[in-house]
Structure 1
Amino acid sequence: MKISTCYPLIALLMAGCGGTKSPKPSSHSKPPATVMQISNEMQLASVTLTEQAERRLGISTAAVKRQPVETRRPYPGIVVVPPQNLTMLMAPMAGTLRYAGSPAVGASVRQGEPIFSVVPMLVENYALGPTQEMGLKSTRLTLKQNEDAILTRINNAKVEVEASLIDLKRAEQLFKEQVGSRKRVDDAKARAQLGQEVLDSANRELATVRQITRQDTTPTASPMTQAAPMSGTISKIQVASGQAVSAGQPVLELSNLQHLWLRVRIPQAEAAEIQREETARVGSTEAVPVRGAPTGDQLTSSLDLYYAVENGRLNPDQRVEVSLPLKGSQQQLLVPTASILYDIHGGSWVYLRKKPQQFERARVQVEFSTEGGQSVLTQGPKVGSTVVVHGAAELFGIEFGND
């Protein structure tokens, strides 16, 4: 009897402990991004995002447009030192040259730093022989010719400075009246500064020549020291220490490398296509055109144009590629440079917004990029199409990172 009464209790306990399991909640939430499978290799996959995923990626777009763009053409160029930035130190009198230190080409010197001294060669009874007299007359004639040539350069430089200051004043007035551009003011300032540097260099050369001319021809026992007339870099050494020199003989050349020129050689047949009044470019650095008659080479039928540039990493005789502006402008297809992606083979692509939250990759052909963050396309989507700017790289990763 006791055993039979236990069965209902055991059955009741088993029923309470062995209830049916609650089913797991099935999660069928939509993934943040899906990539449409393609049926053949000629099709491009499209990426579809959820509204929340698009907000997280910070997708921003821009319209493809067609606008007039300044066209440029690359030409070979070489870095040269402007003539006004070169100063030749000459022996102030005849004698034996002694350097103050151990100068070397490429060494820097400061203005006023002693460079060399000349110890005069004494002649008995201070009398010059016939050979010395003839050499002295020849030196004086050469110095006189140099002085006349420098005076001509000074007069031309003064005219150039006056003209550049007038242009600068006009450009500033037009900019103040909101008619001219800031770029024109900057170009006018650069030309005025360049003209002033030419004038200062010519005045320094004139002072050196006149100092030599005023020297007493009677030999003395006191050596004469020549200091650096400007801060710069030694570019040439023409006389060795201990060598005999005559009055006015070139000894050493100093170069100011802070401001350099670009000599750009172009074919004469293309000279009419160049916009010479506009700035050239070396990479991202702008170069201001130098006024004056261009030089040329008749054998190669080429023309040399000159542009002034602030020295950053350039060195004299360095060969560079210079981008010159062409006359006129052409209607070009433009997209933001940030919207362009490149694959491992060098192909360029953009993502187009086809529908809300749906994007499709399209191939483009880039010709060049402008300073304003735009790229010119020779092949690309139609005008008015919407390309992805911010978030394009993320779409690229979603497309090719999806299994």
Structure 2
Amino acid sequence: MPFPTAFTGRALALALTLTIALPAAHAADGAAPPDHGRDRDREGVAIALDEREIRTAGIATTAVTPETGDLELSLPGTVAIPPQQLRVVAAPAGGLVETVLVATDESVTAGQPIVKLRSPDLVEAQRQYLAALSDEALAADRLRRTRLLWEGRVTPERELRVAETEAAHARSRLDERSQILALMEMSDAEIEALRTTRKIASAVTVHAPISGTIVSRNANPGQRVEPAAALLSIAALDPLWLNLQVPATRLSAVTVGSRVILPAYGVEGRIIRIGRTVDAATQSAVAVAEINSAGGTVRPGLAVAATLRIGQNGLPQWSVPATAVVRHRDRAWVFVREETGFRAKPVQVVAERTATTSIRGRLSPGDQVADRGIVALLSELAAADQD
């Protein structure tokens, strides 16, 4: 292969191609290239070059540096409320909002009154409850009299069974009406008062289901609402979630339990879940960390810069110049110096910085990798794919 023609021609052609193609998005570094065997992934691709060709192409090398300890990856994130800590307070019945007793961002305790409603639906539900109460009393009295007659052998057993069935149905209807009143926010004491006094109330007070903070208010005094309409949202704001946008190329380095730090707030947390899908527009996935609120300093909706600590997990890790890592066929590669030239080896990019890149791969202490003249080597790697 005459060096001045074929080798240089491929290098120049590839340089023009890279000028156009490099801004395009790339897939995860850990994905296996199609139609290539495992031997190539493990051993790499040999590129035969003599010393004259290496000098002419301007190829220079530097030694890989073993890395120890955790790496830090800076990622953008947004603070969010864990869904299990959020409660939406709905209208127990249709009606008119009479009073809203709390404001947005106000702290409340479980059981605290928060909204008063005046509701025709509540009036009708109480009327039906009282009717069911009367029916149950009549059915119970009829059963008592029928049982006395049956015991005196005045009435047949069939009539006793009919009376027992009617009494059971009446009790079921009364229980049903009692449950409806409970769903309409009437307490056991209020239902008992209705049973004894038979005085119907036209208003109902809605209470906070949990202790927390009012994060949104959908109802205002004088507003008419339908049954189950959202009135307020209450959330417990400690702990919180931090949704981190992790590039797809870095997902393989993130694990559940990895440490997350918010330097600006002095808050630390742990990754609790990693997204299984990648956003097509941003080519990133969401990793969720659980953090504390630092006494209310960290708040939902806050956009933050987070530092993710990436452990080595027992795998060898290396630091190389940022210019030593190239991407070809959806993989990251480095070119390792050998006696006969270079060997292109696939690697996994763990973290990227301005001057250096942290990688994992089949390297050894003392290995020399090319960090200049990369275009010429990349052209040879591309040519090897055509063989």
TM class by shorter chain equals: 0.3 to 0.5
> In terms of Rg, which structure is larger?
1
State TM-score, norm by structure 1: 0.41
Tell me the TM-score normalized by structure 2.
0.42
